[in-house]
Amino acid sequence: MKLRPRFKAHELQAFVGKAFGQLGLPSGDANLVARCLVEADLRGQAGHGIQRLPMYAGRIRAGVVKPRSSCSVHGDDGMGFVVATRAMDEAIQIARDQGVGLAGVRRSTHFGCSSHYVMQALEADMLSFVFTNSSPALPPFGGARALLGASPFAAGVPGTQPVVLDMSTTVIARGKLRLMSQRGEEIPEGVGLDKEGRPTRDGMEAFHGVTLPFGGAKGAAISLLMDLLSGLFTGAAFGGRVRSLYNDTDGAQDVGHFLLCMRPDLFLPSTEAFKERMDEMAAILKSQPCAEGVEEVLLPGEPETRSERQLRVEGVPLQEDVVASLREEGSKLGLEFPAPL
């Protein structure tokens, strides 16, 4: 396999931040979005990484994403990264005062990895749930047409080794299907259907067709719950009416987010007491005997944390077609893309 070129994370972040600045985002917002995108690559979530810069830029140019957004629950069609960060700030503050804080967001846009906002809550020593809806990707159980989003279920629990859960409700995240297709790789069987409802191993056909839920009826039910809480409950679009991120610039997406924070000392004497119990739980989990072929029991989020630590040193690997698209986007904005290591 041909080795992919690697780039310094801080140089990629600087490039992306400048790009969004050129597109009209305030400096702080531009740098926030850049950090979220590069962190996705660092944590092994390239489907949510900087390869999406040209797509976000296109949506800003088309006028369906506003470079400047308010910090209210009404996202004003701003960059989802900015809207969700500010909404999580509000949820954290309410939780500090009341023990539990809930923020519901409407008129937002795609916000990248849900883990960004889970980790934001962890930095404030908060437990959290982060839900969002998204454009149609999978059918309700028994259905033949994409209706529900591949909406991630995300949660965080603070500790010395925190739990960071961020999982798509599809067998494989849609962004990964797209990347596998770009690499010329076949997707596994049982992952997706084409537009005609036929099983396919072509990642792009599944991406534009139907991605199947994990666990059959169970995954479809969780995806429905994400739409009910993030869309219907918050006043955002729901029931298949969130517009596509990739090929619909006729109007705003109207994505909804549901962010819930909880203070760890609600039922215990202190946050420290909670963390001690969490550390004990982590130790119990990691002391369990490993199944055949498994070297170590890992907590949710631990592989991504290790990936980030490694890639900050070794550089972020990018596919050549992604590098080409970023160079092209940079030239439109009068920016030079970083050189590989």
DSSP code per residue over 37-100 = HHHHHHTT-GGGSGGGHHHHHHHHHTTSSBSS--SSSB-TTB-HHHHHHHHHHHHHHHHHHHSE
Query: CA–CA distance from 141 to each of 96, 137, 200 (Å)?
Result: 39, 13, 19
The confidence score (pLDDT) of residue 70 equals 33
Query: CA–CA distance from 291 to each of 34, 120, 283, 302, 304 (Å)?
Result: 39, 33, 17, 18, 21
| Residue 274, H or E segment | helix 271-286
> CA 319, 152, 136 angle in degrees (round to 5)?
85
How many CA within 13 A on the CB side of residue 202?
A: 7
What letter represents residue 188's amino acid? P
Query: CA–CA distance from 270 to each of 129, 249, 263, 273, 283 (Å)?
Result: 21, 49, 10, 5, 20
Strands, E, within 181-296: which ranges?
A: 192-193, 199-200, 210-211, 255-262
Buried b (16+ CB within 10 A) or exposed e, 267-281: eeeeeeebbeebeee
Is there a contact between 104 and 73 (Cβ–Cβ < 8 Å)? Answer: yes
What is the distance between the alpha carbons of residues 204 and 175, in angstroms, rounded to a whole number? 10
Low-confidence ranges of the chain (pLDDT < 70): 1, 68-72
Instruction: Determine phi and psi for 310, rounding to 5 degrees.
Output: -70, -45
Q: Six-digit token pair at 268?
A: 């215990």
